[in-house]
Each structure stands twice: as C-alpha cells, then as structure tokens.
A and B are shown apart, each in its own frame.
Chain A
Amino acid sequence: MSAVITFAVAGRVLAQLRRDHRTLAMLLVVPCALITLLWWMFEDLPGGVFDRFGPALLALFPFIIMFLVTSVTTLRERSSGTLERLLAMPMGKGDFLFGYALAFGLVAAVQSLLAVALSVGVLGLDVVGPVWLLGLVAVVDAVLGTALGLFVSAFAATEFQAVQFMPAVVLPQLLLCGLFVPRTALPDVLGAISDVLPLSYAVDAMQTLTRSSDVADVWGDLGVVLAFVVGGLALGAATLRRRTP
C-alpha cells in the first residue's frame, strides 16, 4: 500500500463528487430534512418520542446513504473498466478501498456534523453523553455503510441490482436494530440474529449516549462496529480481483 496512491484515490473521488452538485446536495440536505420531518411528526405528541427515535436515525442515515453511494460508485468503477485499468497499474487493493473509505468518511463526517448540529442545536434532542462522541459514532456508521457497499458491489452486475441490495442488506438490520421493538424483547432467534448485525450496535451506542453519561458501553459498541468495518473492507478486498474470467 502507498499513502500517495490512497490519497490520489480519495482526492479523485471527492473531485468527482464536487462536480456532481445534485448528489452532493442530496448527501448533505436529505438527512437533515428527514430528521426535521421526524421531529415535526412527533411535535404535538407527549412522551419525548423524538428523543427515542432521533439518535437511531443519526446512526441510520449515514449508514444507508453511504451504503448506496458506495455500492453504485464502485460498481460503476468495475463496469467502466477503470478498476481493471487501475489494477493493471501499481495500485494495491488496499489503496483503492481505503481511498474510497477516506473520501466517503470525510463526506460522512460533514453530513453527520450537520445532522447532529441540527438535532441537538435546533430541534432540542437531549443528549446526556458528550455530543462529539455522537458525531464520531455517526461517522463510524457511515464508514460501515461504505465498507458493506464496497463488498456487495462485487455481487451486482448492474447498477439496478446494486440498488436492490439496499433493501436486502439494510432493511433487516433496520427492523432488528431495536428501533421498533427493544432488542431484549425480540423472540430468542431474532434476538440472536440482531446480536450479529452491526447496525444494532450502532443504534445501541447512540441510544446509550442520549440516556447516560457512561461512555464505556459506547466505546464497546463502537469497537464492534469498527470490527465490522474492518471485516467488510477485508471481504471487499477479497472481491477485487486483478484477473477476471
């Protein structure tokens, strides 16, 4: 691996994104708009429902959006022949993956910063733990989305198929992450499945942060999510083949 090449990839991905104003606007505005919508929905209801759902959404949006963006962009890279060209050059697989993770991680950081600032500063989301940690968890979730997106792009032949991996990979995690039914109240089998899905830990971390100032649990959850990130990137690297049939 070479730092120069990794940064070259990251810089190039960001340059492409900078030119694509619509995607950039969607990446930054949509999460904020959806969080505002959610806040508005519950505004007249008693019981602090926004405080219950808000943190989970801060974990979800970066994850889902980065998953989609990454799976489609890497697929485009595979089908346009640019990946083949890069792999015939002195580029390591790690350079490619970390370059992408770096670029999208940066976008995710900005995205999360906006969403967290809006939720806590404007919409009055109660956060007992440190707010910066909330931002960090959101960024790690986004990188998780990037890692899984890289991995599934290997199994899609077209952009159409890549988009359909979203419901297949993301929705089950969304249903089982504790947002709808607390994870402890799930049937045993589903609870066990929920225990091996990364998004569960991401949402746990967010919910702990809003309820208590005890950050030890948060670091534990964050560690699990990071392990999934590393695993996703390693699997992604395994799907990048220099030689193809």
Chain B
Amino acid sequence: MKNAVEITGLTVVRGGRTVLEGLDLAIGDGVTGLLGPSGCGKTTLMRCLAGVQRVASGQVTIFGEPAGSAALRHRLGYVTQSASVYNDLTVVENLRFFARVLGVDRADVDRAVTAVDLDSHRDQVVGRLSGGQQSRASLAVALLGSPSLLVLDEPTVGLDPVLRRDLWALFHRIADAGAAVLVSSHVMDEAERCDRLLLMREGRIIADGSPADIRQRTGSDDIEAAFLRVVEEAGR
C-alpha cells in the first residue's frame, strides 16, 4: 500500500534559519509519534503537511496530491499548538461554524464534542474554559468530517493523565478506522503509546521505528535514554 505522506528533499527556511534541510520521510497508517525537543522543527514539518508553510524546496505529497491542494482540504484534520478556535463563541458554536465550512452535518458536531469529552462544557464560551479544555475544543474541530489524515501538534500538553490516556485511545481508534495519525510531543513518556516513532533533533529524524525497536537497537530501557544514546553516537 502506498504511504499516506511522502516527503522528499524538503527544505524550509524560517526567519533566515534553515529549519529542515533535505528531509526525506514517509508516513503510513497507524499512529505515528513525532518526538523531539522544542524548536527541533516538529511544528514546521506539520505545517508543511497542512500546506500552510512556505517551502524553499522539495516535495510533500499526501494521498498522491501535493500538500495544500484543494482536493486535500476535506481529508486533512490539522490542529495547531495553540488552540485555534474563537474564544468568544461556545464550544458548540465553534464546531457548528467549522462544520458548515467543511460541509459536514450537525450529528458530526455532537460526535466530536463527545470524543474530546467536552459534553458538560458544550455551551460554555471557549475563552472561559481551562487551557486543556480549549485545546480539546480545537482538537474537536479537527475530528469533524472524519479526515483520512490527522496532523496534531502537541495535542496532549498540560492535560490530566486520565484524559491523556483517553485521547491516545481515541487516536488509536481513529487510526484503526483507517486514518493516518501524526502526533507530535516533546514529552518522551508519550512515546510508548505510538505504533511508530520518529525522534527528531535539529531538523533531522535521528531514529525511526516502533518504540520497542528503538529501545532494543540502542539497548535502553526507555525512549528518553534511547534519544540520548542516539545523540551521543551521532556525536562520536
């Protein structure tokens, strides 16, 4: 089967700094975790997939179409790091608006609200919710219309562990239903929850494989230790 995302020779320059240089990467089905410290290029890479990043060179192809093309806009759910919803509208008002833009029916709105566990806050104005609730409202928008590719930039930051577990379970359910899910995080302990792991540092993918694979290859007990091992080996 063809990969959902194919990236070849991707180079991105932001603010005079080369963030990504000649990156080659393929992302398939399942939940793929993109892990690395802040500033390593995770967000830039995700913006490229969403088609909102100006690219210096290289190709990003999603389901056989260039990233950002009109045909993909119905098939991609993208969540930015900060909650991209309207603070002065309620959760449901936000979702109904985005649902109309996407041409999705109202039943989908209720489904998305339930999926992110905001049923009890559905009629509250987003600006008065906690940070975690706001980012869940933003996540709910990306779930509208059952996209075939979900690009989630640090969706679980600052959330209660129980909720974090539930959200990861949700990502897996979405992936099991046939979508490709790419989730970034700078928290290494989330790594174990991914089917496939990409460790990123300074714009490069330094390790790629299942969590068990990476641990075994580096002889480490956890992903944090594995990350350090890879960086040290590269330094020698």
Chain A interface (Cβ < 8 Å from any Cβ of B): 4-5, 8-9, 11-12, 15-16, 19-20, 80-82, 84-91, 242-245
Contact = CB atoms under 8 A, between A and B. Distances in A.
A244 B52 contact: yes
A127 B42 CA distance: 63
Interface of B: 14-15, 50-55, 68, 70, 73-74, 76, 78, 80, 82-89, 93, 97-98, 100-103, 125, 141
A88 B86 contact: no
Contacts of B78: 85, 88
Given A8-B97, A88-B78, A90-B103, 18 more contacts: A9-B101, A11-B97, A12-B86, A12-B93, A15-B89, A16-B86, A16-B89, A19-B89, A19-B125, A80-B84, A80-B87, A82-B84, A85-B80, A88-B76, A89-B101, A91-B101, A243-B55, A243-B68
B88 A19 contact: yes
Contacts of B85: 82
B73 A16 contact: no
Contacts of B83: 81
29 contacts: A4-B103, A5-B100, A5-B101, A8-B100, A11-B97, A12-B86, A12-B93, A15-B89, A16-B86, A16-B88, A16-B89, A19-B88, A20-B88, A80-B82, A80-B87, A81-B82, A85-B78, A85-B141, A87-B52, A88-B68, A88-B78, A89-B73, A89-B98, A90-B74, A90-B103, A243-B55, A243-B68, A245-B14, A245-B15
Residue among B14, B103, B141 facing the most chain A CB atoms (10 A cut-off)? B103
A235 B197 CA distance: 44
Contacts of B55: 243
A84 B43 CA distance: 14
Interface of B is mostly: loop
A89 B145 CA distance: 11
Contacts of A20: 88
A244 B54 contact: yes
Nearest to B98: A89
Residue among A4, A80, A82, A91 facing the most chain B CB atoms (10 A cut-off)? A82
Contacts of B97: 8, 11-12
Contacts of A16: 86, 88-89
Contacts of A15: 89, 93
A168 to B, nearest CB: 26
Contacts of A90: 70, 73-74, 101-103
Nearest to A23: B88
Contacts of A5: 100-101
B172 to A, nearest CB: 24
Nearest to A87: B52
Contacts of B101: 5, 8-9, 86, 89-91
B75 to A, nearest CB: 10
B14 A85 contact: no
B80 A243 contact: no
Contacts of B14: 245
Contacts of A82: 84-86
A90 B100 CA distance: 10
Contacts of A85: 78, 80, 84, 98, 141
A11 B99 CA distance: 13
A84 B80 contact: yes
By Cβ-Cβ distance, the 9 closest A-B pairs, closest first, are A81-B84, A8-B100, A90-B73, A85-B84, A12-B97, A243-B54, A81-B80, A88-B50, A245-B54
A19 to B, nearest CB: 5
Contact of B51 (A8, A81, A242): A242
B213 to A, nearest CB: 32
Contacts of A84: 52, 80, 84
A174 to B, nearest CB: 31
Nearest to A91: B101
